[in-house]
């Protein structure tokens, strides 16, 4: 089959996937990004096409949707919708987070699960891909309300998960508090202390050191590897970071540790720019302890910081950019602004935060671009290390976990870089990540037969 024939076949398959999965634009976007890079792989390895691997890979092994009824503090009954998409288990048990946010729907969960398959494959740690969550909004809810919701959610989810089957973790709206409530209900229902069934646990009861920091730290380590490839390092670089949640905060922490200067943070109300650099302790106090808004940071920081309501954080000139909030937050116009202001490298801390148009603009302008499936794999990597510790009932030191994280992120960068070169796309980390992840999953699927 010629390159043109292969591309035509992939385009036809993509059209079928869109028709079969209507009203799921995020899932379509994630699938399209992968399919458009696979033509040279299918030419080199025709057995992949003959075995229908791509068709199977784009269809989840299992999709679970369920009702989640719960009572608020006034006794009023609410009903939310719960999801778990178990996408692919060729390399190991399904692994991926739970997201509690009003935007969650089946298409969002499928896009996240699809991305997770390749991300997890890149870690080399023997974990499959899945994702889940609910359209429940935890903002403004009491601890008791969140506990009741989590207990109701787990009352259905428990029958679908297990340390050798499916291992959820946290994501947007799901932190250590929520994982604790979910684990407690799982233990109550099953009468088993199965620590490896959830990751992101509290450090006193099975959680791993460095897990809260891992996604942000890993993103910065990937950024550092891209810069090293260009003969630079992070020392003295000005960084623009979006978001103010877990990923953003620990992205900033690692940037500061490696000599860079993050000057922004954001939430749904707007963004803050701090000319002196973000005061991380103040931001942690407001976001992690008080659960406040970034506008409060500007009020308490003083003259160096200002809050821009409803603004675009990408307006701020910087050397490097690390989108760390949510999907499709950085579009073509934002990319043009960043390029005009001299950005050198972009690394995705969030899942698919950059639109396809923006990715193309960065690549055309020679900006190093680290896709989320590679750059933010540090979180799931340390989750897998947490599973390892749980299996042996041991706890590693922070230094050991961080050393493993650094090694894994370096290996992911090397794998993506070398794969891109091997397939004639030097410097294209998107192509490298997609193909490397695909090959690992595809080879396992081939070995295991048509299932």
State the total domains in the chain: 3
pLDDT band at residue 163 using 50, 70 and 90 as cut-offs? very high
Q: Does the pLDDT of residue 1 top 70, yes or no? A: no
Cα torsion through 100, 88, 375, 138, rounded to 10: 0
**β 77-88/62-71 pair status:** antiparallel
Inside any domain, residue 448: no
Inside any domain, residue 434: no
Cα torsion through 37, 370, 294, 277, rounded to 10: -160
Inside any domain, residue 447: no
Per DSSP, 207 falls in state P
Q: Considering only CA atoms, which of 413, 367, 374 is closest in space to residue 33?
A: 374
User: What is the average per-residue pLDDT within 223-239?
Assistant: 97
The answer on 330 and 276 residing in a single domain is yes
What would the pLDDT profile of 245-304 be if each residue is shown by its tens digit?
A: 999 999 999 999 999 999 999 999 999 999 999 999 999 999 999 989 999 999 999 999
Phi, psi of 259 (to 5 degrees): 95, 5
pLDDT over 90, % of the chain: 98
The answer on 266 and 154 residing in a single domain is no
The answer on 86 and 28 residing in a single domain is no
Last residue of a domain, one of 359, 375, 391: 375
The answer on 226 and 369 residing in a single domain is yes
Q: What is the CATH number of the domain that holds 303?
A: 3.40.50.720
The answer on 295 and 233 residing in a single domain is yes
What would the pLDDT profile of 85-131 be if each residue is shown by its tens digit?
A: 999 999 999 999 999 999 999 999 999 999 999 999 999 999 999 99
The answer on 12 and 100 residing in a single domain is no
Last residue of a domain, one of 35, 58, 81: 58
Inside any domain, residue 75: yes
SS3 state at 329? coil
Rounded Cα–Cα distance for residues 38 and 31 (Å): 11
Q: Does the pLDDT of residue 205 top 70, yes or no? A: yes
Phi, psi of 9 (to 5 degrees): -65, -40
pLDDT over 70, % of the chain: 99
What would the pLDDT profile of 244-258 be if each residue is shown by its tens digit?
A: 999 999 999 999 999
Q: What is the CATH number of the domain that holds 136?
A: 3.40.50.10860
Nearest-10 crossing angle of helices 106-123, 378-392: 70
pLDDT of residue 378: 97
The answer on 43 and 174 residing in a single domain is no
pLDDT of residue 4: 63
Inside any domain, residue 206: no
pLDDT band at residue 5 using 50, 70 and 90 as cut-offs? confident
Q: Considering only CA atoms, which of 407, 351, 447, 388 is closest in space to residue 118?
A: 351
Rounded Cα–Cα distance for residues 439 and 121 (Å): 9
**β 320-322/238-241 pair status:** parallel
Cα Rg of the chain (Å, integer): 21
The answer on 115 and 19 residing in a single domain is no
The answer on 74 and 52 residing in a single domain is no
User: Half-sphere exposure of 63 toward its Cβ, with a 13 Å CA cutoff?
Assistant: 14
Average pLDDT, the chain: 97
Q: Where are the alpha helices (DSSP H) in 313-428?
A: 332-340, 356-364, 372-375, 378-392, 398-422
Rounded Cα–Cα distance for residues 179 and 158 (Å): 13
Rounded Cα–Cα distance for residues 239 and 262 (Å): 4
The answer on 245 and 184 residing in a single domain is no
What would the pLDDT profile of 58-88 be if each residue is shown by its tens digit?
A: 999 999 999 999 999 999 999 999 999 999 9
Q: Does the pLDDT of residue 150 top 90, yes or no? A: yes
**Residues making up the chain, counted from first to last:** 451
Range of the domain at 42: 3-58
Q: Does the pLDDT of residue 441 top 90, yes or no? A: yes
Q: 97 is written with which tokens? A: 């987070």
Inside any domain, residue 39: yes
Inside any domain, residue 208: no
The answer on 105 and 242 residing in a single domain is no
Inside any domain, residue 428: no
What would the pLDDT profile of 370-427 be if each residue is shown by its tens digit?
A: 999 999 999 999 999 999 999 999 999 999 999 999 999 999 999 999 999 999 999 9
The answer on 128 and 40 residing in a single domain is no
pLDDT band at residue 3 using 50, 70 and 90 as cut-offs? low
**Active-site residue, from 95, 131, 344, 373:** 131
Question: Would you call 287 a catalytic residue per the annotation?
Answer: no
Neighbour-count burial for 340-368, b at 16+ CB within 10 Å, e otherwise: eeebbbbbbbbbbbbbbebbebbbeeebb
Last residue of a domain, one of 343, 375, 407: 375
């Amino acid at each position: 089959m010629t390159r043109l024939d292969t591309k035509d076949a992939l385009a036809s398959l993509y059209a079928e996937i869109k028709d079969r999965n209507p009203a799921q634009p995020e899932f379509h976007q994630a699938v399209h990004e992968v399919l458009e890079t696979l033509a040279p792989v299918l030419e080199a390895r025709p057995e992949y096409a003959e075995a229908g691997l791509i068709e199977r890979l784009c269809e989840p092994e299992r999709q679970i949707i369920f009702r989640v009824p719960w009572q608020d503090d006034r006794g009023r009954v609410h009903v939310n919708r719960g999801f778990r998409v178990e996408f692919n288990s060729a390399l190991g048990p399904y692994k991926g987070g739970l997201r509690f946010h009003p935007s969650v729907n089946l298409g969002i969960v499928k896009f996240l699960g699809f991305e997770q398959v390749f991300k997890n494959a890149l870690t080399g740690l023997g974990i499959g891909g899945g994702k889940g969550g609910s359209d429940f909004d935890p903002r403004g809810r009491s601890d008791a309300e969140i506990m009741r919701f989590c207990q109701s959610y787990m009352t259905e989810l428990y029958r679908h998960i297990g340390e050798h089957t499916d291992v959820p973790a946290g994501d947007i709206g799901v932190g250590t508090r929520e994982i604790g409530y979910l684990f407690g209900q799982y233990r109550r229902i099953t009468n088993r202390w199965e620590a490896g069934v959830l990751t992101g646990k509290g450090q006193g009861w099975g959680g791993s050191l460095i897990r809260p920091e891992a996604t942000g730290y890993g993103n910065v380590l990937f950024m550092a590897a891209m810069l090293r490839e260009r003969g630079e390092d992070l020392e003295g670089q000005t960084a623009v970071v979006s978001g103010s949640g877990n990923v953003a905060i620990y992205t900033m922490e690692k940037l500061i540790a490696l000599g860079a200067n993050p000057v922004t943070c954001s939430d749904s109300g707007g963004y803050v720019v701090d000319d002196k650099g973000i005061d991380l302790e103040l931001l942690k106090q407001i976001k992690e302890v008080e659960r406040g808004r970034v506008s409060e940071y500007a009020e308490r920081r003083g003259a160096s910081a200002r809050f821009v309501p409803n603004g675009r954080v990408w307006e701020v000139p910087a050397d490097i950019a690390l989108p760390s909030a949510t999907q499709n937050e950085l579009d073509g116009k934002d990319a043009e602004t960043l390029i005009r202001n001299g950005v050198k490298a972009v690394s995705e801390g969030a899942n698919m935060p950059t639109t396809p148009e923006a990715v193309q603009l960065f690549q055309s302008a020679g900006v190093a671009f680290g896709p989320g499936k590679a750059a933010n794999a540090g979180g799931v990597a340390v989750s897998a290390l947490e599973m390892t510790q749980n299996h042996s009932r041991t706890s590693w030191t922070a230094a050991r976990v961080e050393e493993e994280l650094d090694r894994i992120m370096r290996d992911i960068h090397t794998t993506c870089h070398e794969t891109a070169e091997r397939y004639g796309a030097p410097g294209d980390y998107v192509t490298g990540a997609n193909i490397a992840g695909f090959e690992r999953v595809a080879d396992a699927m081939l070995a295991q037969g048509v299932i």
